[in-house]
């Protein structure tokens, strides 16, 4: 997964021709925010990224097109298969749309406060945050009652 830096996309394809290359939606969102200031449109970008079926994706894209055709065109210039879950491989990998764990905790208030602490304290805060996140996901999985997971 990359942030779409020039040259990186081509290099990845050259070095690993059979890999599934994805883009970091957070970086796309940052660029999208610079071009399109409307908060409603911004939220729709995340809806497209998190769509898990092609039908959901199409509905989200039509909503964007109805709100702002320029935003719709901008998104269509970027291959949906590289940033929307609806196109991700069915083989188990991960469901992250961000490029690393740092992006996940970057905006967390407790982690931001811990940055001024000694490195050990900062790492401990990160460890606790990740463990809590995993524990909550495990609890969510235990509540799932169907044969096939969401």
**pLDDT tens across the length of the chain (150 residues):** 444 455 666 676 677 777 776 778 888 888 898 998 888 888 888 899 888 888 999 999 999 999 999 999 999 998 888 788 887 776 655 555 555 566 666 667 777 788 888 888 888 888 888 888 889 888 988 887 776 655
Could you tell me which residues come within 8 angstroms of residue 32 by beta carbon, excluding any fewer than 6 positions away?
42, 45, 71, 74, 75
Report the predicted TM-score, pTM, of the whole model to 2 decimal places: 0.55
How do the domains of the chain map onto residue ranges? 8-87, 101-143
């Amino acid at each position: 997964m990359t942030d779409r830096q020039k040259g990186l996309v081509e290099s990845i394809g050259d070095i690993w021709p059979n890999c599934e290359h994805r883009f970091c939606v957070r970086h796309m969102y940052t660029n999208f925010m610079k071009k399109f200031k409307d908060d409603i449109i911004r939220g729709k970008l995340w809806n497209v990224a998190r769509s898990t079926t092609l039908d959901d994706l199409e509905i989200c894209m039509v909503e964007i097109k109805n709100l702002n055709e320029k935003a719709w065109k901008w998104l269509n210039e970027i291959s949906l298969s590289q940033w929307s879950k609806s196109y991700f491989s069915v083989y188990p990998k991960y469901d992250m749309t961000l490029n690393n764990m740092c992006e996940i905790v970057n905006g967390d208030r407790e982690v931001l406060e811990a940055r001024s602490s000694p490195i050990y304290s900062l790492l401990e805060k990160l460890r606790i945050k990740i463990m809590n996140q995993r524990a909550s996901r495990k609890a969510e999985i235990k509540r799932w009652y169907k044969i096939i997971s969401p």
